[in-house]
Amino acid sequence: MLLKLLPKVNPAEPSDTNASEETKTACRTAYLNRFKKSIETTTKPDVHQYMKDLLAEVEASTVPVS
């Protein structure tokens, strides 16, 4: 959903195209951890489900660093 609206933006990747593999991994990990924290801390069932669905979509569309 979010990635379909902003197809050229990938918040799981650093904006610096010359970033090291370590930076790319750290960026992706931080992004996914923000979703997980939101899921753990929300008290609203609708937001919880939305964030879980969005996390699943992001994890499926995020290519691991090789």
Q: pLDDT averaged over consecutive 10-residue blocks of the chain (66 residues)?
A: 58 78 86 89 92 85 58
Q: For the whole model, what pTM was predicted? A: 0.63
Provide the pLDDT for residue 8. Answer: 66
Number of domains in the chain: 1
Is the residue at 10 inside a domain? no
pLDDT attached to residue 25? 86
Q: HSE of 49 in the Cβ direction (CA atoms, 13 Å)?
A: 2
pLDDT of residue 66: 46
Residue 46 lies in a domain: yes
d(CA 26, CA 19): 11
Q: What pLDDT was estimated at residue 41?
A: 94
Instruction: Report helix, strand or coil for 51.
Output: helix
* Within-domain flag for 16: no
Domain that holds residue 29: 21-61
